[in-house]
Amino acid sequence: MDAAEQHGRTPTVIADELHIVYRVNGGKTGRGSATAALSRIVRRGESPGVRKVHAVRGVSFTAYRGEAIGLIGSNGSGKSTLLRAIAGLLPAERGKVYTDGQPSLLGVNAALMNDLTGERNVILGGLAMGMSREQVKERYQDIVDFSGINEKGDFITLPMRTYSSGMAARLRFSIAAAKDHDVLMIDEALATG
């Protein structure tokens, strides 16, 4: 047991010297076949025409249960890439990520269906995130209330295409936040308002 656990602080995410590198085809013509791409992936070596973009360089930190951490940086600084690596969506070039539980990455771009009402999107969104019908039913009113979209009318019964971008973002966030997450990561949190 380490010192943090002895003092009642349980680590939930540990990033240890994490490096994330993207490999981008440099655009040589004639090398775009699926076979050539697979061959480059398998080789993972230096190939002519493949550029390496080092998106995250040696990041280390520990996040503890109940703690909120903000990532601040300019566009292209690797914030979203770091979150995707912690969520297990991107492989590490070097270093490791350890998590206690399943990390959930929420982005404001979660797709809902514009032709369906807010009500139907709450149900479908909850089911898509793995909640049971009973859980969605239990949390439905809390989701609607948290989103705030019904404060000036009965918007939840209208198709999503009638919502402002802010209303749609708040509903997306409310649906995603309604599930019990082990580790919750929010990408572009300020865009959600």
Read off the pLDDT of residues 96-139 as tens digits, 9 standing for 90 and up: 999 998 888 876 455 678 999 999 999 998 888 788 999 999 99
> What's residue 142's pLDDT?
95
Q: Are residues 9 and 60 in the same domain?
A: yes
**Containing structural domain, residue 96:** 3-100
180 and 136 in a common domain: yes
Integer-rounded Cα radius of gyration of the chain: 21
Residue 11 burial class via C-beta count within 10 angstroms: exposed 0-12, middle 13-18, buried 19 and up: middle
Query: Do 48 and 132 belong together in one domain?
Result: no
d(CA 156, CA 175): 13
Instruction: Pick the more confident residue, 188 or 166.
Output: 166
Cα 2 to Cα 8, 10, 12, 21, 119, distances in angstroms: 10, 9, 13, 31, 47
Rounded to whole angstroms, the Cα distance separating 104 from 83 reads 9
On whether both 26 and 76 belong to a single domain, the answer is: yes
Strand-pair category, 103-107 with 183-187: parallel
Residue type, 29: T
Is there a single domain that holds both residue 168 and residue 87? Answer: no
Mean pLDDT value across residues 168-189:
83
177 pLDDT above the threshold of 90? no
Is 95 found in the same domain as 123?
Answer: no
Give me the number of domains the chain comprises.
2
pLDDT tens across 146-174, in order?
Answer: 999 988 888 999 999 999 988 988 898 88
For residue 61, how many other CB atoms are within 10 A of its CB? Answer: 12
From 77, 100, 123, give the residue that closes a domain.
100
The answer to whether residues 112 and 186 belong to one domain is yes
Contact 126, 179 (CB under 8 A): yes
Question: Domain ends where: 65, 100, 135?
Answer: 100
Number of residues in the chain: 193
Could you report the per-residue pLDDT of 22-36, keeping only the tens digit for each? 888 765 544 566 776
Query: What tens digit of pLDDT does each residue of 33-85 get?
Result: 677 666 666 666 556 677 888 999 999 999 999 898 888 989 889 999 999 99
What pLDDT does 29 receive? 47
**Does 120 share its domain with 39?**
no
Domain boundary among 100, 128, 152: 100
**The pTM is what?**
0.65
Give 3-state DSSP helix, strand, coil % of the chain, rounded to 5. 35, 25, 40
Are both 34 and 122 inside the same structural domain? no
Nearest residue to 143 (alpha-carbon basis) of 179, 105, 117, 102: 179
Question: Are residues 127 and 80 located together in one domain of the fold?
Answer: no
pLDDT for the residue 44: 60
Query: Between 40 and 90, whose confidence is greater?
Result: 90
Asked if 136 and 77 sit in the same domain, the reply is no
Same domain? 16 vs 92: yes
| 32 token code pair | 């775009």
CATH of the domain at 35: 3.40.50.300
Triad 19, 37, 25: Cα angle to 5°: 60
